[in-house]
Structure 1
Amino acid sequence: MKRAYNFNAGPAALPEWVLQEAKEHWLNFNDTGMSLMELSHRSKDYEAVHNEAKELLTSLLSIPDNYDILFLQGGASLQFTMVPMNLLPKNKTAYYALTGVWSEKAIKEAAKLGNTAISVSSKEDNYTYIPNPEQIELPKDAAYLHITSNNTIYGTQWSNYPTNLSVPLIADMSSDILSTPIDVSQFGIIYAGAQKNLGPSGVTVVIIRKDLIKEDNTLPTMLSYHTHAKNNSLFNTPPTLGIYLLSLVLKWVKQQGGIEGIANINKEKAQQLYNVMDQSNGFYRGHAEEKSRSKMNVTFTLPSEKLTKAFLQEAKEAGFVGLNGHRSVGGCRASIYNAVPLEHVVELAKFMKDFQNNHL
């Protein structure tokens, strides 16, 4: 079987090694005579998988001891609600950096629960850049600052983060977690839907500083971080298959030389496509300003809608999947998450050059 050139924005490509490893143990996991999907989440066999995933993530991200790791459900979208529900007192204000659609959705949900305000925004320029983090100043009533580290629709990404904040920094890292080294201690909470860099859809990873986990009997039980932290994310039945596949992805990242090794490959992949764009004399026009370009989602347009449609059609015929831009902005988008092989990106770069030469 020939693997597709998968550039989907999410659910996205998974490492082939992960899929083969899961296939090898699909019907008989750990000599139990059962698939992992059939195991009780209270069993020792599953518990070992669950805890190994936490240990691998701790090691790869160098997560300090004063943080907890939660495996939840509901995607980043549920975290838009859980963050303010757990961290926003009535006399405080939640501040949000608006850099795209997902940060807009996050503040919309928070506004249903308490006071919110915009700290910085690039909306007036159609989200073509990331605001300067050094220009962020928060009033005394701030409860936290929320950012979206990578913006899949617009192809922008934070290269450095706000520092010296007096309140927790909360980051939605759904689309770039594990793609480059970060200092976890800069953040109060990092959350990420798994379906881009961590594994399949259905699992949400939350890395939370322990002092932010507080028991509050007024909260719905399932929407309290305290509930899940107290029960090692086993209060209810977790997405066991997703967590197993997540653990395999983490093993694969370790095989690639850890996050440092992955980051070097990601840099090369992004450079392949941005070089084609920069050398195309305007044939391929990137949406993001150069200093804010994402290494995960490369977004661009062509000189006309007719050429865009031709590009997408010919790309599809050549085996490239998922290159359509988001419906809200149009154009084209290549999502080059961790599991997308460098060789596939090289092939796309070659296709882009050939397409331009054939349509001048």
Structure 2
Amino acid sequence: MNIEWTAEDKAFQSEVRDFFAAELSPDIRRTGQLMTSVYSEHESAMRWQEKLHAKGWAAPHWPVEYGSCDWSVTQHYIFARERALAGAPPLSPMGIQMCAPAIIAFGSAEQKNFFLPNMLSGEHFWCQGYSEPGSGSDLASLKMSAIEDGDDFICNGTKIWTTHANEANWCFCLVRTSREDRPQKGISFLLIEMDSPGVEVHPIVSLSGEHIQNQIFFSDVRVPKANVIGEVGKGWTVAKYLLEFERGGAAYAPLMQVRLKDIRRLAERTPGDSGAMLIDDPLFAAKLAQIEIEAEVLEMYELKTMSAISAGGSPGTSASVMKILGTELQQHVTELAIDAAGHYGLAFQPQAGAPGGDVVYPYNHGDDFVGEREAALASLRYFNERAGSIYAGSNEIQRNILAKAALSL
């Protein structure tokens, strides 16, 4: 499809490009270009958020009255694509993209006035307290308790696989405030300060040596009832709303298309089995063309969903569709990158990338790697994207949601 942009859209594109050219320092740009997961390195991302906030572009999808941009859906798309082309790192989605829509939809005026400005400025950095040992995709089975005590709740339990809990000063949690006839009942959506007495964060270091995930332990943590978003005992409604934005609140296609161009360029320099360049291999060329077509199809679907969000709606069941299509296509892209990397794709070299957390021994040995950097990044992104179809609700669960909600099966 040939999309003709208006003169206003072209002017906006120039404004975005000029802003990126002026404000993206080399170190921040490098962080974005060398990312190996969905999370960028914390310090660089916070410096970038400060620049975006000063421009008024930190949360373009929020309603305008809360500090957002009065952009058209085309402008949202232009910004997402230019960000990918420029190599700018994404901001952490936990606060601005996930918790904020829940506060906007269900929070009190006092909660909005306090939390939203601090999210925009980066003063509050958030993590998500959903999963527990034994309660991941079956989230309604969670056990972390919150018992009423005067004006407070006393919280006990644990959350696991909590991204950047070691960096966060706030956590949005699902807690069980009562036992009801259905597991989805009696759950409340509670905001907890991470420096509260009784909160302990234990690191989970992955096999790659990266410290991004954590387990949080809550022992008699006192939290004001005023920190409940929505009604007590009805947090499942808030959680489902938030998950729509986690699964379908951002576009996959622009960055995927940038990565496909990188793969094409790498294949033009990589010898195939016949001795000719890999790009001239008919089988590889056919795979590349097929994935490029699928990325364009996904882009059209994302534009439709972005239009609904910009009009004040939520992604709805489109969130599950985008989660399935986006993560599974990303996996195919990384598989193709492994082919294009050749022998260099066989080596595990995390030092070639910019992961979303500290890398500990034995992989923390500077910038020394073998082969082209793009080839060295291939296996890192391949392994990370294996988790894409599991986190934020496994794709099997998403298909069940679609079968029930969209097809009435």
**TM-score normalised per structure 1:** 0.29
**TM-score normalised per structure 2:** 0.26
Higher RCO (CA 8 Å, separation ≥ 6 residues): 1
